[in-house]
Amino acid sequence: MDVYSRSKRSEIMSHVRGRDNRVTELAFASLLRRYRITGWRRRQKLFGNPDFLFYEEHVAVFVDGCFWHSCPVHGTQPANNAEFWRVKLSKNKMRDCIVNRKLKQCGWRIIRVWQHELLAAKEAKLAQRIKRALGRE
């Protein structure tokens, strides 16, 4: 049982900030280096905050966590506080669609990489997908 009221707990939790998806981003950066894919930048200002940008090719890459972006293969719904998580995760998916649409309207190509695609068994296929999108195949 929580020692705080529901509203106080909500206030406390609203001050907790995430630390990005640092592990998956670093794994993706390592993949780019391993396959000698160059020309990318991280943490550049653009609508939707893409994880990686290839300015010359106008390609924005988002590295999405399987849980937070409701991966069709590995996405899960927590049993505790189920309604909150259902709403939260569906809003994340809606925001992804809005970001994709807006960036495409501005002439950007979008690549969304699932966290599970960074596994060693799938990395060659992912690298090929990135190179194809950049026109470097």
pLDDT digits (tens, 9 = 90+) for 97-115: 999 999 999 999 999 999 9
pLDDT at 62: 95
Nearest to 92 by CA among 28, 30, 21: 21
All domains in the chain, ordered by first residue: 20-134 (3.40.960.10)
Burial readout 61-70 (b: 16 or more C-beta within 10 A, e: otherwise): bbbbbbbbbb
Phi, psi of 112, rounded to the nearest 5 degrees = -110, 120
Residues 80-96: tens digit of each pLDDT? 888 988 999 999 999 99
Q: How many CB atoms lie within 10 A of CB 7?
A: 8
Question: Helix, strand, or coil here: 10?
Answer: helix
Least confident of 9-13, 49-53, 128-132: 9-13
